[in-house]
Structure 1
Amino acid sequence: MASKQIKVTLIKSPTGRVARHRACIRGLGLRRMHHTVSVMDTPENRGMINKVVDMLAIEES
């Protein structure tokens, strides 16, 4: 069974944000502006996405 993936793109800079928010960005695998990654749809990843949702563009597939 294939698990669901979520495409996440960083659209706002993490500069000047709280260290925990920057850690969530790095934890999702995002490295720079307009970088897109596909992550597994797990509760852990959803929690990180919800912390910094204002900085991300999310596409569920």
Structure 2
Amino acid sequence: MDIKMMDEVTIIDSDGQEVARGTVANINKYREPDTQYAIYVDGYSDLVFVGKDQLQKKVN
């Protein structure tokens, strides 16, 4: 799965259940693997940092 900036994604928990939806704001390969993706989450006023294994790309 190739995730790029501005992709719409779903954040999932360890059981694969949806936690939130948002848009990729930044990808930083120098951060720890579990915080490389900065996500603008719908309904939040700040960024959420997650790893690639917590993301599912929204398919149009």
TM-score bin (small chain): 0.3 to 0.5
- From the CA coordinates, give the structure whose radius of gyration is larger: 1
More strand by share: 2
TM-score by length of 1: 0.34
